[in-house]
C-alpha cells in the first residue's frame, strides 16, 4: 500500500471493448504529480499505448475520459472532464473538454478516469456506479439522439435528473461523421476533432455514471473552500458579463472589433448582432437556471423560444460559438432559429463550429452556382435558410446523399468538389477548423489554431495576466512578433487547467490561485513554473505524437479563405500572410523546437522530464 492520496482516487478504470473486460489500474503519486490528470494524463496514455501511424478508427486507438486533482471538490466547475484520443479530422492527437457533472460523479464512484480500448462486437454502453462498472447492451438505443439517449438510460436504470451523468453519441457518432462530438448533461459537448466518431468506431453508444456515495478527500477543506469562494467572487466581479449572462455578449464585442464570423468570411458586417446577446434573449425567451457542478454562475440556461417560427422549441441556451455558428456565419437573423439549430446539432451529436463551416461553405457554393439544388438532394441552401440547414445537418449525421461527402469535413469536401470551391473552405492544412471567430481579426487565434496539436485552440489569452508570463499587459493584436510570443509564452496554461480539470470561464486561468487550490486539495506545493511545465509537458507529448504521425510545417498553414484579407469592417485590408513564416519561426524557437521542423529539441524534452523521447 502506498501513501494516502488526496484530491485523487489513484485509479483508472480500464475497459477493453473487444474482449468485454474491465479492470482497475492503480497510479502511484509520482505519476499523478508529474501528469496530474485530465489532458496531461490522457496524453501520456495516448503516447504510451497508441501507434501514431495507426488510423483513428483502429481498435488500438484509446479514448481517455478523465477528471483531475480538483475534480469533484468545492472548486466551481470541477465536474469538467477532458477527452483525449487520436482525432478523426486530423488523424492525430486530440484533446477536448466538456463541463457538467461527469467528472465529479466519476470521482465519487472511485475513479479519476476511464480508458477505453478495442472495439465492441456489438453496441454497448458503460454503466458505472459505486465503484462497479459493467457493459450493457445498447442496441435498443441506436438511432436515438443524445438527449433521448440520456433520458432512456436514466429511465432504464432508475435515476433522476441530477443523480446520473450520461455522455453519449448521436446518429453522427454512430455513422462516423468526422466532426461528431460526445454530448451529455443536457447539452455539454466534447466537440473537437471528431471524438464522437472515435467513440462510434468502438461501438460505444454512451457512458453513464451514477452520482455515487463517495467523496473526494482533500488535505485542507477549509482553505479549499476559501479559495473556491475567491474564484467565484473574482469571476463575478472581473468577468461579470460571462458570470451573469454567459458568453453570448461576445457577439456584440466581436462584430465591431472585426472578429465575428459572418457569411463564411465574405463580410464582417452583421448589424443584427444585438438580437443574440444574453440579456436581450433572456428577457424575451423563457429561461431556467441549469448550472454545472459547484458553479453559481448563469453561464447557460435552459431556454424556451417564445417568438418567431420556432415558438415553443425547448433546449439549452446556446454558447457564443453556437450563436455565431447559427446566426452570422450562415447569415441567419432569427435567435429562435439559432436556439433550434444549436440544440438539434447537439442532439445529432456534432461540433457546431465544424458543422457551421460546412454549412456556410455549402451556402456560398450554392449562391455562386458551384452546387445546385439537385446536388444537395433538393435542399435550397440560400443564406439564412434555417429549415434547409436542419435538413442538411440531418443528411450529414446520417450520411445520406451529399451529406455523406460533407461528413468528411469542409477541407475534404472542398477538395472533392474542386475548383473555386477549394478557395472558399475555412480550415487549416491539417483539416481542423477554427473556433467560432473570424481569426483575421484575432491573429493569435489563427496562429494557435494552425499550430495546435489538439484540433482546436491550445492557448487562451482571455482573462490572463500577461505580465506574469513576461509579456506586455496589452499586446498589439496585429504585430507578428508580439502575437507569436504571446502564443508561445502562455502555452501550457490552458493545458494545466484542463489537467486539473476545471472550467476556464469560472477559474479564468488564474494559475497562481489554482496552484494554491491544488496544494489545499492534494498537499502538493505546486508553483507557477511547475504548473506551466505540466501544461507544456502535455503540449510537447502531443507534438511528438503528431510529428511521428507525419506532421510537417507545411500543414500548419491557414487555407486561402481562412487567411484572406477582410473586405470591410474594422480590420479591412489587414492581412496576416506576409508575416506567417516569421510568426511560425518565432513561435517554434520560443517553444524550444527546431525552427525548421517544429520538432521539440532534446534540451526542451529534458527540461520537461521527457528524456525517454529523445532517442526517437
The answer to whether residue 1 scores a pLDDT higher than 70 is no
Residues in the chain: 616
CATH architecture of the domain formed by 245-414: Orthogonal Bundle (1.10)
- Give 64-76 pLDDT, tens digit per residue: 999 999 999 999 9
The answer to whether residue 616 scores a pLDDT higher than 90 is no
Cα angle at 425 between 422 and 429, to 5 degrees?
85
Ordered DSSP codes for 432-492:
----SS-GGG-HHHHHHHHH-SSSS-----TT--GGGGTS-SS--TT-HHHHHHHHHHTTT
pLDDT in the model for residue 153:
98
The structural domains of the chain, with segments of one domain joined by +, span 11-210, 245-414, 439-613
Q: Is the peptide bond before 501 cis (omega within 30 degrees of 0)?
A: yes
CATH T-level assignment (fold) for domain 439-613: 1.10.599
- Residue 226's Cβ-count burial label (10 Å; 0-12, 13-18, 19+) is middle
- Give 554-597 pLDDT, tens digit per residue: 999 999 999 999 999 999 999 999 999 999 999 999 999 999 99
Q: How many CB atoms lie within 10 A of CB 462?
A: 13
CATH of 11-210, one of 3.40.50.300, 3.60.9.10, 3.40.50.970, 3.40.47.10: 3.60.9.10
* Mean pLDDT, the chain, integer: 96
The answer to whether residue 457 scores a pLDDT higher than 60 is yes
pLDDT in the model for residue 600:
97
- Give 177-209 pLDDT, tens digit per residue: 999 999 999 999 999 999 999 999 999 999 999
The residues that bridge with 124 in the sheet, in sequence order, are: 137, 204
The answer to whether residue 607 scores a pLDDT higher than 60 is yes
Q: Which of 399-413, 437-451, 456-470, 555-569 has the lowest mean pLDDT?
A: 456-470
Same fold, 245-414 and 439-613: no
pLDDT in the model for residue 2:
62
Cα angle at 99 between 78 and 310, to 5 degrees?
150
pLDDT in the model for residue 161:
85
The answer to whether residue 256 scores a pLDDT higher than 80 is yes
Amino acid at each position: 500500500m502506498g501513501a494516502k492520496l488526496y484530491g485523487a482516487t489513484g485509479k483508472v478504470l480500464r475497459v477493453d471493448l473487444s474482449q468485454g473486460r474491465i479492470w482497475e489500474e492503480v497510479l502511484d503519486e509520482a505519476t499523478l504529480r508529474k501528469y496530474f490528470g485530465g489532458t496531461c494524463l490522457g496524453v501520456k496514455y495516448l503516447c504510451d499505448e497508441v501507434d501514431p501511424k495507426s488510423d483513428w478508427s483502429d481498435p488500438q486507438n484509446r479514448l481517455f475520459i478523465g477528471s483531475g486533482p480538483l475534480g469533484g471538490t468545492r472548486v466551481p466547475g470541477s465536474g469538467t472532464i477532458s477527452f483525449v484520443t487520436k482525432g478523426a479530422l486530423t488523424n492525430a492527437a486530440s484533446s477536448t473538454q466538456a463541463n457538467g457533472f461527469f467528472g465529479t460523479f466519476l470521482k465519487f464512484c472511485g475513479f479519476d478516469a476511464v480508458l477505453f480500448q478495442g472495439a465492441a462486437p456489438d453496441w454497448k454502453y458503460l454503466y458505472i456506479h459505486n465503484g462497479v462498472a459493467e457493459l450493457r447492451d445498447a442496441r435498443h438505443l441506436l438511432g436515438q439522439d443524445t438527449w433521448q439517449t440520456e433520458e432512456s438510460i436514466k429511465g432504464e436504470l432508475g435515476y433522476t435528473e441530477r443523480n446520473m451523468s450520461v455522455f453519449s453519441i448521436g446518429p453522427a457518432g454512430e455513422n462516423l461523421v468526422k466532426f461528431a462530438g460526445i454530448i451529455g448533461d443536457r447539452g455539454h459537448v466534447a466537440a473537437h476533432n471528431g471524438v464522437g466518431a472515435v467513440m462510434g468506431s468502438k461501438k460505444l453508444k454512451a457512458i453513464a455514471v451514477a452520482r455515487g456515495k463517495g467523496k473526494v478527500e482533500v488535505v485542507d477543506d477549509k482553505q479549499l473552500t476559501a479559495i473556491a469562494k475567491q474564484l467565484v467572487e473574482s469571476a463575478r466581479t472581473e468577468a461579470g458579463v460571462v458570470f451573469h449572462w454567459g458568453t453570448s455578449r461576445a457577439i456584440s464585442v466581436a462584430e465591431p472589433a472585426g472578429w465575428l464570423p459572418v457569411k463564411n468570411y465574405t463580410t464582417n458586417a452583421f448589424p443584427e448582432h444585438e438580437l443574440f446577446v444574453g440579456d436581450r434573449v433572456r428577457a424575451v425567451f423563457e429561461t431556467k437556471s441549469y448550472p454545472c457542478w459547484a458553479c453559481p454562475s448563469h453561464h447557460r440556461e435552459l431556454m424556451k423560444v417564445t417568438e418567431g417560427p420556432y415558438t415553443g422549441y425547448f433546449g439549452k441556451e446556446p454558447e457564443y460559438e453556437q450563436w455565431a455558428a447559427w446566426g452570422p456565419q450562415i447569415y441567419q437573423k432569427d435567435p429562435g432559429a439559432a436556439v433550434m439549430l444549436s440544440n438539434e446539432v447537439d442532439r445529432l451529436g456534432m461540433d457546431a463550429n465544424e458543422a457551421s463551416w460546412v454549412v456556410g461553405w455549402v451556402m456560398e457554393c450554392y449562391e455562386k452556382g458551384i452546387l445546385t439544388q439537385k446536388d444537395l438532394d433538393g435542399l435550397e441552401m440560400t443564406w439564412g435558410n434555417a429549415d434547409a440547414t436542419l435538413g442538411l445537418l440531418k443528411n450529414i449525421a446520417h450520411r445520406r446523399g451529399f451529406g455523406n461527402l460533407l461528413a468528411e469535413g469542409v477541407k475534404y469536401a472542398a477538395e472533392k468538389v474542386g475548383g473555386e470551391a477549394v478557395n472558399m473552405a475555412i480550415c487549416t492544412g491539417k483539416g481542423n477548423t477554427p473556433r467560432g471567430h473570424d481569426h483575421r481579426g484575432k491573429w493569435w487565434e489563427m496562429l494557435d489554431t494552425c499550430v495546435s496539436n489538439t484540433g482546436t485552440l491550445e492557448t487562451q489569452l482571455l482573462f490572463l495576466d500577461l505580465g506574469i508570463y513576461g509579456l506586455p499587459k496589452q499586446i498589439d493584436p496585429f504585430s507578428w512578433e508580439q502575437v507569436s510570443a504571446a502564443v508561445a509564452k502562455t502555452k501550457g496554461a490552458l493545458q494545466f487547467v484542463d489537467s486539473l480539470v476545471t472550467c476556464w470561464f469560472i477559474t479564468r486561468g488564474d494559475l497562481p490561485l489554482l496552484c494554491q487550490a491544488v496544494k489545499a486539495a492534494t498537499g502538493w506545493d505546486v508553483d507557477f513554473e511547475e504548473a506551466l511545465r505540466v501544461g507544456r509537458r502535455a503540449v510537447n507529448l502531443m507534438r511528438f505524437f503528431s510529428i511521428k504521425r507525419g506532421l510537417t510545417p507545411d500543414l500548419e498553414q491557414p487555407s486561402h479563405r481562412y487567411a484572406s484579407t477582410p473586405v470591410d469592417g474594422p480590420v479591412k485590408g489587414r492581412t496576416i500572410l506576409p508575416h506567417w513564416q516569421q510568426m511560425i519561426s518565432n513561435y517554434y524557437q520560443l517553444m524550444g523546437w527546431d525552427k525548421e521542423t517544429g520538432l521539440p529539441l532534446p534540451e526542451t524534452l529534458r527540461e520537461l522530464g521527457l528524456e525517454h523521447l529523445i532517442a526517437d
